[in-house]
Structure 1
Amino acid sequence: MNARAELTRSLWMKVDVYPDAPKFSGKKSCDTVIIGAGIAGLSIAHELANIGQKVIVIDRGTIAGGMTSRTTAHLAPICDDGLSALINLRGEDVARLFQQSQEAAVARIEENVSELRIDCNFRRLDAFLFPAMGIDPKDARDQRQQEFDAARKVGAAVELVTGLPLKGFEEAPVLCYPNQATFHPLRYLRGLAGSIRESGSLIFADSAATSVEELPEDGVRVSTENSGVIEAGSAVVATNSPINDRFQLHTKMSPYRTYAIAFTLPKGALPDALFWDTGDPYHYVRMNPGPGSVDYLIAGGADHKSGESDDGDIRFEAIEAWIRALVPSLGKEVTRWSGQVLDTIDYCAFIGLNPGSKSVYVVTGDSGQGITHGALSGLLVKDMISGKENPWAEVYDPSRNTPSGVINYVRENLSAVKNLAGYLLPGDLKSLAELAPGQGGVLRDGLRKIAACRDMAGKLYLNSAVCTHSGCEVAWNSTEQCWDCCCHGSHFAPDGIVLNGPAVGRLNPVDAPAGGT
C-alpha cells in the first residue's frame, strides 16, 4: 500500500500507470535497484535504461501511487520559495545553477514526451506571480521588483506586467515568467514506465523494501517483504521521505500537507497559465483541459505542518472562497485532495550519494517542486552512477552544509522536540466510546499512548501511537483517514500499515485498555 490508499482522489488518479505490475519475490540481481516508483524513481530508471543499464524498480504500493499522484504538476523552474530567498541563503552562483538545472528538467520532460509520443497534455505556457490578497500596494511593488531583480541575476526569463484577468487584480503589479509548462503527471509516467519495460528493465508493485544494505566489498543488497532480495551495483532511494536514513537528512527538512480542489470552468474563461501569489502559505492555480466546453481549474494552498492540524475541511473551504472571489465564473467542484511536500532548510532538494554511502543514492526534499526535482534527479543520478561530472551536483549534494540556514533548521526541528515532549501529556481522547466512524485520536492508557480509530464502516483499530521511524507521536488525519507523523512525514493506514515513509514497520498493534471499547 502507498498514499493512493488515502481517502481523497486527485484529478489524475483515474489513470493507472501500470495496473498489472507484479509483486517482487525471490532473488534477482541488476545494475541499479530503485526504491520508489514516482516521478523521481521512474525518471532515474528511464535515464539509466537509456544508457544500457538493467534496472529493477520496486514500490510499496501501486506504481506512481505515492505523492506524485497528488501533485498539481506546475512545471515551473523558478525556486518555490523565491529566487531572492535562495540567493540570500546560498548565493547567486548556486541560484543560477539551480535555475539552469530546473529548466533542464522541464526540457527533458518535453523531450521524453516528443520522443516517446506520450499523450499527457504537455504544453508550454506563461506563469504569473501576483500579490497576496490585501497586501499593501507599496509592499506588493517592492516584492515584485525584488523577485524581478533576482530572476535577472540568475538568467531566468521574466517580465514586469500590470494586471491579471482575476477579479480585484486587474491593475496589480505582476511578474510574468514565460515558457513554463504543465502536463498530466500520471499519463506521462505511464509512458515512461512503458519505455522502461521495453528496455528489459523490471518494475514491481506492492513490494515494500525493508532494508538497504551496502555490501562489504561493492554493491548493495535490498530486502523486501516476503523475503525478497535484490543485489545490485547501486541503489537509489526515491521514496518521498527516505527509508534508509533516520536523522541526518530528516532533520534538514520538514513535511507539510498541502490541499487542492479542481473545479469546472467554461472553456476559455481564464488563460491557460500558471498562477501563484505571494501569501505565506501561498495559493497556486493551473488549468487542465476538460471535456467539451469545459476546462478544469485547480486551486491549492493552505499548507501546514503534517500532523499538526486536523482541519482539512476548513482549509478546503478557505481555498474555495479565495478562488471564487477571483474567478466569479467558476463552476462546480469536481474533486479535492491533499498531498505532502518536504521542505528543506535551504530550498533545494537532496539528490546524490546518501551521506556516508558509496553506492546508495537518495532523492528527497522536493521543496514544493517535486515534479521538476524528480525529472532532474534522472539526469543527475544517471551522471553520478556512470561516473560523469555534473555541475549541478553541488547544489543538491545531500552532504552539504548551509550555515546560513541554521535559523530554518532550528525552527523546523522544534516540531519534533515539541512532539516528543507531548508524549508526557494526556491524549486527545478520554475513551474509545467517543469515536464515531471515520474518527480517530490518541488515548492515554497508563504509560502508553494508543492510536485509536474507527474506519468509515465503524471497525475499531488500536495501535501504538509511536511512529516506528523515530518514536514521535502520530496524529489522526480525518481528511485522508490515516495517521500522520509531524516529525518526518510517515503516514499509516487505520490498521497501522505504512502508506508513506520514512517508516518501514507498521504501527504496533496493542490490546484494548482496561474497560474495553
Structure 2
Amino acid sequence: MNNPEKINEDKTSGVHNSYWMDSVEPLSFKKLSAEMATDVLVIGGGIGGLTTAYCLAKSGKKVILVEDGFLGSGETGRTTAQIAYALDDRYYDIESYFGLEKTKKVAQSHKEAIDFIERIVKEENIDCNFKRVNGYLFLDPSDKEENLDEEFEATQRLGLPTEMLYDIPDFIGEYREKCILFPGQGQFHIMKYLKGLADAFVKYGGEIYTESRASDIDKNGAKVNGFQVKANHIVVATNSPINDILTMHTKQWAYRTYVVAVKVPKGKLPYAMWWDTGNQESKWNAKPYHYVRLEPFDDENDLLISGGEDHKTGQADEENLPEEHRYASLLSWTKRHFPYFIEIVYKWSGQVMEPIDCLAFLGKNPGDENIYIITGDSGNGMTHCTIGGNLISDLINGKENLYEEIYNPSRMTFKAGVDFISEVGSMAYKMAKDWVNADINMPSELKAGEGAIMSKGLRKLAVYRDEAGKLHSCSAVCPHLGGVLQWNNDEKSFDCPLHGSRFTTDGTVINGPAISDLTKVDVRDE
C-alpha cells in the first residue's frame, strides 16, 4: 500500500499518495523570495497552469509560474490520467444545451487536445508512457438502452469515429451487453508528462517557483509568499478559482471521487479504457460513474486503475457511506467486472469541479480584462486543461480561438436551470442542517487520529486529536462563504460542503476557493 506519511513532505491535498506521485521524485523548484515583474503570472502548477505557461513561453512571452505545493501536488496528481474525447457527460445533453454546431466544436476541441498532447510528447521527447487506446462506454444497470443508442446517434451526428459493439471487450458482465467504441483515446503517466512540460517551459525561458502561495490577486498581479509580483496578465489555474468570491461558484460544484489501483498480470488485459454511463438513481446531479484504465507497472504486472463512487464534497453522510468506506464499494465493483487482480497497491481520492452545463470555464474571468481562469474541468481534466492552456495563450497573444465562445466563463446556459435550483436547494438544506448538528459534545470523545465538528455555545469548532494525543482546534466555519465544515476521515481533512474548500487538521487551507487558513480557537481538553 502507498505510504501515507509522504503527504507532509510532498505537500499534496490528502493523506493518500496516488501512484503518479509515489513513482516520481517531487517536482520542486526554488521558493519565490523577491519582488518581480513579468508579462504573465500563472498561478497553479497542475496540467492547466503548466500547459498555459508552456504555450505562452514558446510564443515568446515572459512567464512566471507559481505553485503553493510542488508541481502536480494538487488535483492533477490525483487524476486517473485518461485523455479522452469520450466525455463524462453525454453528447446528447451537451447538444440540447448548445446546439449541434457548437457541440461539434466541443468534440473537436477534445480530439485536438489529445493530438496536442501527443505532439508535445514527441516534440519535447517526454518519456511518459503515452499511448493511444480504445475506450468503451456501456450502460450502468440503472440506465436505459435507448440512452446508449441516443448517445451513439449523437456521436455520429458530430462526425466522431464511433462504433456500436454488441459485447464489451475484456469486461465481465452478467450478460452480453452493448457498448460504444471510442477509438483513439490517450493515456499517460501524468507526473512524467508534467516534468517534461516543466523542463520544456524552462528551456523556453519560463521561471517556476514552488512552495510559493499567491494571494491578493488583482489586475496588477499578486502577492506571492508576501512579495509583489507585477504582471500584465494573470492566469488562475487552481482547480477552483481563488480570485473569485462568488460568481464562478454559482456555476459549479465540488465532488470527491475515489480510485483504487490493483495489480494484474501483464497480458491479461489490453491497454484500454472502460466507462459506465453512471448511476441514474443517484441523488447527485452529476450521476456518479465508474472509469477504468490500465497502466504499465513493472516487468510482471500492470496496474488496473479504477475510479468512481463520487459524492459532493463534505456530503458523504447524505448517503450514509463515509469517505473511507467508498474504496470497498469501488473494489467490489472492480473485482466483479475485472476478476484478474492480484492485490490492491494504491488508493486515493481527488476533487472534481462539476460545471452546471457539462463544459469547463476557460478564458477571461467574468468582469476582468486581464485575469483568466481554468476551472470546471469535470471528469475530463486532461483535455479541458489542455484546451484551456491553448485558448488562454491565444487570448493573451491577441489571436482568435475557435473555442473562446463555447468555454467563456461568463456564459449563461438557461436549460441547465433545473440542476442549478436543485444544487442550490441541496446546499441551503445542508448548511441549515450542519448549523444545528454536531459530531461530538466534548473533546474527550476523540481518539488519537480522529477529527470531528463540535458545538461550543453558538460556535462551531473543528477539533482533531493527533497521534501523540494533542488536541488541535479551529473555527469550523469556512472563511470563504460561511459553510460549516465536515470531517473527512479518509483524507484527514475538514471539507466544506458548499464550495469544496478543504483544510488540514491544523486548519491550513489546501483547496480553494478559500484563500485563508481557519482561525485557531483555544479549547480545553476535557
TM-score by length of 1: 0.95
Distance 1:135 1:239, change over 3 A: closer
Q: Is the 8 A contact 1:160 1:175 kept in 2?
A: yes
* Matched residue, 2:285: none
* Matched residue, 1:177: 182
1:392 is paired with a residue of what secondary structure? coil
Distance 1:308 1:135, change over 3 A: closer
* Matched residue, 2:5: none
Q: CA deviation at 1:441?
A: 1.1
* Matched residue, 1:324: 335
Q: CA deviation at 1:318?
A: 0.8
1:387 is paired with a residue of what secondary structure? coil
* Matched residue, 1:223: 223
1:13 is paired with a residue of what secondary structure? helix
Q: 2:120 aligns with which of 112, 132, 135?
A: 112
Q: CA deviation at 1:199?
A: 1.7
Q: Does 1:25 align with 2:33?
A: yes
State the distance in 2 between where 1:434 and 1:461 align: 14
Q: Is the 8 A contact 1:17 1:189 kept in 2?
A: no
The amino acid of 1:421's aligned partner reads A
Q: Does 1:158 align with 2:157?
A: no
Q: CA deviation at 1:458?
A: 3.3
Q: CA deviation at 1:89?
A: 2.0
| 1:48-447 equivalences in 2 (<5 Å) | 48-132=56-140, 134-135=141-142, 139-140=144-145, 142-164=146-168, 165-168=170-173, 171-214=176-219, 220-225=220-225, 227-280=226-279, 281-309=288-316, 311-422=322-433, 424-447=435-458
The amino acid of 1:375's aligned partner reads T
Q: Is the 8 A contact 1:102 1:373 kept in 2?
A: yes
Distance 1:201 1:172, change over 3 A: same
2:316 is paired with a residue of what secondary structure? coil
Q: CA deviation at 1:293?
A: 2.0
Q: Is the 8 A contact 1:437 1:454 kept in 2?
A: yes
State the distance in 1 between where 2:414 and 2:18 align: 38
* Matched residue, 1:217: none
2:127 is paired with a residue of what secondary structure? coil
Q: 1:449 aligns with which of 438, 460, 467?
A: 460
Q: Is the 8 A contact 2:13 2:511 kept in 1?
A: no
State the distance in 2 between where 1:399 and 1:385 align: 17
State the distance in 1 between where 2:422 and 2:448 align: 36
Q: CA deviation at 1:455?
A: 3.0
Q: Is the 8 A contact 1:16 1:190 kept in 2?
A: no
State the distance in 1 between where 2:112 and 2:25 align: 24
Q: CA deviation at 1:371?
A: 1.0
2:405 is paired with a residue of what secondary structure? helix
Q: CA deviation at 1:460?
A: 1.7
State the distance in 2 between where 1:505 and 1:159 align: 49
Q: Is the 8 A contact 1:344 1:365 kept in 2?
A: yes
The amino acid of 1:157's aligned partner reads P
The amino acid of 1:90's aligned partner reads F
Q: CA deviation at 1:20?
A: 3.9
1:393 is paired with a residue of what secondary structure? coil
Q: CA deviation at 1:121?
A: 0.5
Q: CA deviation at 1:15?
A: 4.4
Deviations, residues 429-457 of structure 1 (Å, cap 9, x unaligned):
11111111221111110111101112344
Deviations, residues 213-253 of structure 1 (Å, cap 9, x unaligned):
12xxxxx221123x211101100000110001111101110
Q: Is the 8 A contact 1:79 1:86 kept in 2?
A: no
State the distance in 2 between where 1:3 and 1:302 align: 25
State the distance in 2 between where 1:5 and 1:388 align: 36
The amino acid of 2:415's aligned partner reads S
The amino acid of 2:475's aligned partner reads S
State the distance in 2 between where 1:333 and 1:257 align: 20
2:137 is paired with a residue of what secondary structure? strand
Structure 2 unaligned regions, length at least 5 = 1-7, 280-287
Q: Is the 8 A contact 2:435 2:484 kept in 1?
A: no
State the distance in 2 between where 1:415 and 1:458 align: 36
1:89 is paired with a residue of what secondary structure? helix
Q: CA deviation at 1:198?
A: 1.6
1:93 is paired with a residue of what secondary structure? helix
Q: CA deviation at 1:423?
A: 5.0
State the distance in 2 between where 1:28 and 1:474 align: 36
| 1:489-508 equivalences in 2 (<5 Å) | 489-508=500-519
* Matched residue, 2:284: none
Q: CA deviation at 1:154?
A: 1.4
Distance 1:369 1:458, change over 3 A: farther
Distance 1:369 1:3, change over 3 A: farther
% identical aligned pairs? 39
Q: CA deviation at 1:18?
A: 5.8
Q: Tell me which moved more, 344-353 or 155-164.
A: 155-164
Structure 1 unaligned regions, length at least 5 = 215-219
Q: Is the 8 A contact 2:30 2:210 kept in 1?
A: yes
| Alignment root-mean-square deviation, CA | 1.6
Q: Is the 8 A contact 1:90 1:346 kept in 2?
A: no
State the distance in 2 between where 1:378 and 1:386 align: 12
TM-score by length of 2: 0.93
The amino acid of 2:487's aligned partner reads W
